[in-house]
Amino acid sequence: RKEVEQDPGPFNVPEGATVAFNCTYSNSASQSFFWYRQDCRKEPKLLMSVYSSGNEDGRFTAQLNRASQYISLLIRDSKLSDSATYLCVVNPSGTYKYIFGTGTRLKVLA
């Protein structure tokens, strides 16, 4: 089993739609979780950290389910500019190393 798994997509959704991505992780001791966004041929940029209580930033909501070992990202009212690859990132406990998922491609269509 991969340490971090994501559905590669692509998810093609119309503007204004709500879309959700899940990401599963294998190390139950993992403590830190993040969603990064990566545009084509660019570096990843932090979208949001994922807290145990869940967190929301505008149209974006991230949640953590420790029992089932997954994190989720919900995007409401999708914009064309949301088109990108969304990377799930897990930081295993006791290390400074990030483990990246392969990313989920999102294409928002006009």
Partner 1 sequence: GAVVSQHPSRVICKSGTSVKIECRSLDFQATTMFWYRQFPKKSLMLMATSNEGSKATYEQGVEKDKFLINHASLTLSTLTVTSAHPEDSSFYICSASPPGQGDSYGYTFGSGTRLTVV
By CB under 8 A, residue 103 contacts partner 1:
yes
Which of 48-57 are b and which e, b meaning 16 or more Cβ less than 10 Å from the residue's Cβ? bebeeeeeee
Q: The dihedral of CA 58, 106, 9, 37: what is its sign?
A: negative
Distance of closest approach, residue 16 Cβ to partner 1, in angstroms: 28
How far apart (Å, rounded) are the C-alpha atoms in residues 17 and 23? 20
By CB under 8 A, residue 53 contacts partner 1:
no
Distance of closest approach, residue 84 Cβ to partner 1, in angstroms: 14
> Of these, 45, 59, 66, 79, which contacts partner 1 (CB under 8 A)?
45
By CB under 8 A, residue 60 contacts partner 1:
no
How far apart (Å, rounded) are the C-alpha atoms in residues 90 and 26? 10
Report the interface residues with partner 1, using CB under 8 A. Answer: 31-32, 34, 36, 41-46, 49, 87, 89, 91, 96-98, 100-103
